[in-house]
Amino acid sequence: MRIFSVVVAAFIGSLGLASFNAAAETVAALNQNKAGLAGKTVSAQGKVVKVNNGIMGRNFVHVQDGSGDAAKGTNNLIVTSKQTANVGDQVAVSGVVVVNRDFGSGYSYPLLIEDASITPKK
């Protein structure tokens, strides 16, 4: 079922319909399966816990959904987007998985969801 969700999300993303809510992955599952998801469009939902706006022409939004292990760093999903959100917002995100992204100067990320759409949940 997960593979179907990723395929549907990729197809919908290619149509530019980012607001479509394909079955969302958990933050832990995305961290665990990141290598196999590289280059694919995925969706997730959670609470915004940190925001850094206007860095390198994008906003960095940290999302957590209660899954994963903080000690292992698998409880956090970092999303880059032209859109932003506020700390405490519940959001749905959809974007392309990028692994081992190194921006230099010590800013290296084992998992990023880039060029994401961020949709507030009501």
Write out the H or E segment, with its range, that includes residue 51: strand 41-55
Q: Output the domain CATH number for residue 49.
A: 2.40.50.140
pLDDT of residue 23: 64
Cα distances (angstroms) measured from residue 113 to each of 58, 122: 12, 22
pLDDT of residue 65: 97
pLDDT of residue 111: 97
Neighbours of 73 (CB within 10 A): 11
Tell me the whole-structure pTM to 2 decimals.
0.80
Q: How many domains does the chain have?
A: 1
Altogether, the residues listed in the chain come to a count of 122
pLDDT of residue 24: 80
pLDDT of residue 9: 46
The token pair at 12 is: 């919908």
CA dihedral angle for residue 81, residue 120, residue 44, residue 7, rounded to 10 degrees: -80
- Collect the ranges in the chain with pLDDT lower than 70: 1-23
Q: Which domain holds residue 7?
A: 2-120
